[in-house]
Structure formats: C-alpha cells, structure tokens
C-alpha cells in the first residue's frame, strides 16, 4: 500500500490543470474582445511601425496566455493588458536597439581601412615621380627653384639639406630678438649717458 499512496497523489495533481484550462479559455475570450483596441495601442507604443506592433502584440499575448504575466485584479483587465503591451513594446525596442548597436560596431570594424600598402601603389608612385621629374626638367632653373622651394645657393638664409631644425639652429642665420612683454616697461638703456 505504500506504493499506491504516491500514485494516488500524483494522479490528483494530474486533475488540477482542468481549472487552468477553463481560465485560459476565459482569458483568450477576454483578449479576443479587446483585440481591436490592443492592436491600436500596440501601434501607438511602436510609433506606428506595423511589423514591430504585430510582433509586440503576439509576444504580449503569449506572455498573458502562458502565465508569464499574471492579472492580480488591482486594475481593470483592459488596463492590465495595455500595460503588458506597453512593457513588451519597451523591451522589444530595447532589444532592437541593442541588436543595432552591436551590428553598428561590427560594421564599423569591417570598414577599417587596410594599413598595408597595395602592391601597385609603388608602381603608381614611381610613375608619378618620373612624370614630375620630366615636367620639372622642362622648366627654367628659376621656375624649378620656386616650385621646389629652394632658395639660391648664395643666399645667407640657405636652408641646409639635412633638416629644418639645423637651419633654425644655424648661427649664420640673421636673427631678430623681440623683447618679452614683461621686460618692456622695465627696460634699461644699454648705454648710459652722462
């Protein structure tokens, strides 16, 4: 008899879903009577996006019928259904936003330029260099100097070919020194007069 007791208890739990099925039929009937208004509310919550509103309404109905959203009776049934639709629309918008931001990051990662120099780039650069050298050879000496920004050889400001910094540090370059603003008012003459 000890083995019959657990079977009797488990068979009693099998009878229990019948009232749930009746409640589910009543729930479905109530949802069906509110469908037109629910559809309008879903469109409003989804900013008139029909595809999103269809999905939101279906997910909301699924939540209600499956029992994930439970009616506690604190408000009217219509208000509760509209609240479930609103919260579902909110979560669907959030899910869509997260999906789009993830894919925007991957799209941005795909659009990163390849840092490697293409093989034909060297050939193009060489062709440009040769074309430029030929064009410069056809010019007079003075025109080449102006285009290449190189002063005449005898100029005291002649820029050394090594770098600009060595030219700036060149002592033969004429320099002018401007007084600092703080020393302008308190400047003493270099030569005193009797």
> Residue 38 gets which letter from DSSP?
H
Contacts 24+ apart (CB under 8 A), 63-66: 63/88, 64/27, 64/31, 65/24, 65/27, 65/28, 65/31
> Does 98 map to a domain?
yes
Domain membership of residue 188 (yes or no) is no
Q: How many domains does the chain have?
A: 1
Phi, psi dihedral angles at 34 (to 5 degrees): -100, 5
User: What is the domain range of residue 81?
Assistant: 14-108
Q: What is the mean pLDDT of the chain?
A: 75
The share of the chain scoring above pLDDT 70, in percent, equals: 61
User: CATH number, domain at 41?
Assistant: 1.10.1740
- Domain presence at residue 34: yes
pLDDT digits (tens, 9 = 90+) for 44-94: 999 999 999 999 999 999 999 888 988 888 999 999 999 999 999 999 999
158 located within any domain: no
Would the pTM of this model clear 0.85, i.e. be above it? no
Burial 141-165 (b: 16+ CB within 10 A, else e): eeeeeeeeeeeeeeeeeebeeeeee
User: pLDDT tens for residues 131-148?
Assistant: 988 888 888 888 877 777
189 lies in some domain:
no
pLDDT tens-place string over residues 164-192: 455 455 555 555 555 555 555 555 555 55
């Amino acid at each position: 008899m000890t083995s019959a007791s657990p079977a009797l208890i488990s068979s009693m739990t099998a009878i229990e879903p019948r009232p749930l099925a009746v409640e589910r039929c009543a729930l479905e009937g109530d949802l069906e009577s509110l469908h037109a208004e629910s559809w309008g509310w879903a469109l409003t919550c989804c900013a008139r996006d029909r595809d999103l509103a269809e999905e939101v309404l279906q997910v909301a109905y699924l939540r209600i019928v499956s029992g994930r959203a439970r009616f506690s009776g604190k408000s009217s049934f219509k208000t509760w259904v509209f609240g479930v639709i609103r919260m579902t629309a909110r979560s669907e918008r959030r899910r869509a936003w997260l999906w789009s931001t993830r894919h925007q990051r991957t799209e941005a990662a795909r659009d990163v330029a390849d840092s490697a120099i293409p093989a034909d780039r060297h050939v193009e650069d060489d062709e440009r260099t040769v074309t430029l050298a030929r064009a410069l050879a056809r010019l007079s000496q003075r025109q080449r100097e102006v285009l290449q920004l190189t002063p005449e050889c005898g100029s005291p400001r002649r820029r050394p070919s090594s770098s600009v910094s060595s030219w700036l540090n060149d002592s033969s370059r004429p320099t002018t020194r401007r007084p600092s603003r703080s020393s302008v008012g308190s400047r003493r003459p270099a030569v005193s007069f009797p």
